[in-house]
């Protein structure tokens, strides 16, 4: 991912975006569409403990919260978590807990989860295989993993100077998830992001991969 001129979109970058994040209608619609697809794909119930990794301002998990027991809202950006905490307080939500967490450097929480959801975050995590193994370990046997992210693209989504994964090939990510121990893999397209470029509008499809830790 790295080259001499590359820019990392680190926690400070997302801190600076957090207050305005929910003003973007595309981000809100994306969260709703991914949440809708998760509801269709996974038998959610109110005994489930969930982890939303890279939760941002919670645009994925707020639409899911009535269907779940508890949700740990994890992100490496303190700014994003401040927005989440403000929304939790303003809406009187009792089942969501913000947690500052970067699983690339921090020890994983001791808790085990029935469901891990992560939207548009995997492409920011350098070591995909490592994070998939951590997700596997954080799930209870039978637990579900839901990853929403960009399909493989040419780098034009963020621009060539930005040091992120250029989306994911669905078959390659499925193979990596299987190698990390996941089963029951399904991938579907759930949204598409239209971006204006000098050459015209381009569409960037967003997939949802669902998988299960075997053993329930």
Please give the residue ranges that form the binding site for ligand SAM (CB under 6 A).
11, 14, 27, 31, 54-56, 59-60, 75-77, 80, 102, 104, 119-121, 124-125
Closest CA to 69 of 38, 48, 92: 48
Cβ atoms of 100 and 76 closer than 8 Å: yes
d(CA 72, CA 99): 7
Q: Which residue number, 33 or 212, has a Cβ lying nearer to ligand SAM? A: 33
* Residue showing tokens 């590359």: 6
- Enter the DSSP assignment of 165: -
**Considering the complex, what minimum distance in angstroms separates the CB of residue 12 from ligand SAM?**
10
**Considering the complex, what minimum distance in angstroms separates the CB of residue 215 from ligand SAM?**
26
Strands 200-212 and 139-150, by their bridges, are antiparallel
Token code pair at residue 71:
């949700």
Q: Which residue number, 164 or 211, has a Cβ lying nearer to ligand SAM? A: 164
d(CA 29, CA 19): 18
Q: Which residue number, 9 or 67, has a Cβ lying nearer to ligand SAM? A: 9
**Considering the complex, what minimum distance in angstroms separates the CB of residue 194 from ligand SAM?**
16
**Considering the complex, what minimum distance in angstroms separates the CB of residue 216 from ligand SAM?**
26
Q: Which residue number, 56 or 98, has a Cβ lying nearer to ligand SAM? A: 56
């Amino acid at each position: 991912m790295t080259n001499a001129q590359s820019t990392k979109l680190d926690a400070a970058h997302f801190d600076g975006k957090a207050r305005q994040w929910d003003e973007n209608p595309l981000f809100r619609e994306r969260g709703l569409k991914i949440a809708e697809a998760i509801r269709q794909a996974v038998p959610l119930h109110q005994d489930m403990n969930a982890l939303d990794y890279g939760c941002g301002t919670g645009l994925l998990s707020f639409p899911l919260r009535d269907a779940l027991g508890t949700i740990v809202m994890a992100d490496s950006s303190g700014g994003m978590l401040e927005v989440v905490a403000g929304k939790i307080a303003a809406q009187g939500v009792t089942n969501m807990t913000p947690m500052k967490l970067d699983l690339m450097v921090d020890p994983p929480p001791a808790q085990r989860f029935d469901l891990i959801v992560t939207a548009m975050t995997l492409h920011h995590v350098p070591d995909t295989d490592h994070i998939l193994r951590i997700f596997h370990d954080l799930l209870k046997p039978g637990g579900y993993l839901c990853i929403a992210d960009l399909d493989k693209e040419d780098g034009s989504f963020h621009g060539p100077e930005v040091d992120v994964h250029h989306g994911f090939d669905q078959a390659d990510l499925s193979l990596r998830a299987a190698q990390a121990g996941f089963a029951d893999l399904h991938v579907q397209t759930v949204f598409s992001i239209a971006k204006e470029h000098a050459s015209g509008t381009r569409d960037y499809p967003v997939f949802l991969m669902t998988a299960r830790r075997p053993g329930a």
